[in-house]
């Protein structure tokens, strides 16, 4: 079974335009699946990074200093190879740089200025990912922060009805891959790194399956959610039970979020405990409109 799944982050409200954007991203990923499972997840995430509806790439939230710092990662379950960038600035598609880290260096993770320098060396042009909308959201949030008030916008995204991290899973001929990207948390301290770029926390894969997560990154890091979930699958636990166990582990920590989980056979599930978890899935070239994430 050939499959591509995408998510637009946990939380927020249901927006038809966002659902359409997710469907386009899933189809874009599937169109790249002929090149392999890694090409599929990279292309799907690029589609979401290019869309200012999502808190990833162009449209990312601003940190406390009024800058965009982004994290992204990609993981090949078949080889257990990975690449990532954290606190990277001034690029359009952080997931593309993450893929280059995996393919073109002996390293797994590059950070900050080193990641930016590497991106330029690889031909990634300088790009300003700050949108006018996010700049306005930052100005409102910073004023509230200075007054000691809680801003009336989502701490993760700067929007009252939007979501945070984006991610994708792909399965082709029994090979699995995962990719994820985020702008992080609005008003975060400069240099803050969430779970997206931390392998085992927000993303992980093995020959048996793959996981991408979304939610407040610190808890996913502390609980090692992604690797813990994949380890259950490595022990023979099915995707549904592994995903449920992951969200129960999250709930037990008093946190909220969502997970996409898929195994090498193409069995897949999306489970969450937030207000919303927008997901789209394409199987064997067909958009599965009946696919519904499970809330617990």
Q: Where do the domains of the chain lie, and which CATH numbers do they carry?
A: 3-295 (3.60.20.30)
Q: What is the pLDDT of residue 147?
A: 87
The residue-averaged pLDDT of 72-83 equals: 98
Q: Give 160's pLDDT tier (boundaries 50, 70, 90).
A: very low
Q: Give 6's pLDDT tier (boundaries 50, 70, 90).
A: very high
Look at residue 3 and give its three-state secondary structure. Answer: strand
- Chain center to CA of 7: 8
- Give yes or no for residue 161 having a pLDDT over 50: no
- Give yes or no for residue 162 having a pLDDT over 90: no
Least confident residue range of 4-13, 211-220, 243-252, 271-280: 4-13
Q: pLDDT tens across 148-157, in order?
A: 876 656 655 5
- Cβ neighbour number for residue 143 with a 10 Å cutoff: 11
**Looking at per-residue confidence, does 1 or 44 come out higher?**
44
Q: What is the pLDDT of residue 10?
A: 85
Q: What share of residues in the chain are helix, strand, coil (percent, to 5)?
A: 35, 25, 45
Check residue 106 and give left, alpha or beta (phi > 0: left; psi -120 to 50: alpha): alpha
Task: Determine how β-strand 268-272 pairs with β-strand 294-295.
Answer: parallel
Q: pLDDT tens across 53-63, in order?
A: 999 999 999 99
Q: Please identify every residue annotated as catalytic.
A: 165
> Which secondary structure element, helix H or strand E, spans residue 269, and what is its range?
strand 268-272
Per cent of the chain over pLDDT 70 is 94
Q: What is the pLDDT of residue 27?
A: 98
Q: What is the pLDDT of residue 12?
A: 57
Q: pLDDT tens across 83-121, in order?
A: 999 999 999 999 999 999 999 999 999 999 999 999 999
Q: Give 260's pLDDT tier (boundaries 50, 70, 90).
A: very high
CA 197 – CA 177 distance, rounded (Å):
15
- Chain center to CA of 27: 17
Q: pLDDT tens across 13-51, in order?
A: 556 778 999 999 999 999 999 999 999 999 999 999 999
CA 47 – CA 58 distance, rounded (Å):
10
Taking Cα atoms as reference points, which of 35, 39, 7, 31 lies closest to residue 21?
A: 7
């Amino acid at each position: 079974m050939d499959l591509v799944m995408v998510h637009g982050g946990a939380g927020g409200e249901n927006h038809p335009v966002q659902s359409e954007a997710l469907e386009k991203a899933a189809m874009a990923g599937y169109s790249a699946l002929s090149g392999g499972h890694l090409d599929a997840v990279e292309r799907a995430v690029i589609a979401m990074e290019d869309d200012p509806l999502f808190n990833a790439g162009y449209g990312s939230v601003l940190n406390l200093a009024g800058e965009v710092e982004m994290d992204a990662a990609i993981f090949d379950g078949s080889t257990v190879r990975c690449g990532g960038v954290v606190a990277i600035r001034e690029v359009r598609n952080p997931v593309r740089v993450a893929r280059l880290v995996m393919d073109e260096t002996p390293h797994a993770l590059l950070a900050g200025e080193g990641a930016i320098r590497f991106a330029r060396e690889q031909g990634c042009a300088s790009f300003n990912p700050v949108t006018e909308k996010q700049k306005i959201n930052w100005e409102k949030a910073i004023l509230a922060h200075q007054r000691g008030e809680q801003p009336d916008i989502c701490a993760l995204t700067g929007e009252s009805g939007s979501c945070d991290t984006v991610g994708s899973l792909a399965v082709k001929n029994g090979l699995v891959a995962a990719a994820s990207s985020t702008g992080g948390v609005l008003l975060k301290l400069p240099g803050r790194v969430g779970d997206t770029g931390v392998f085992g926390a927000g993303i992980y894969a093995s020959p048996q399956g793959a996981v991408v997560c979304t939610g407040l990154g610190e808890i996913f890091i502390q609980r090692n959610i992604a690797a813990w979930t994949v380890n259950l699958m490595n022990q023979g636990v099915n995707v549904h039970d592994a995903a449920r166990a992951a969200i129960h582990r999250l709930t037990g920590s008093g946190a909220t979020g969502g997970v996409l989980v898929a195994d090498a056979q193409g069995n897949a599930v999306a489970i969450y405990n937030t207000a919303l978890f927008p997901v789209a899935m394409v199987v064997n070239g067909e958009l599965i409109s009946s696919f519904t994430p499970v809330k617990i």
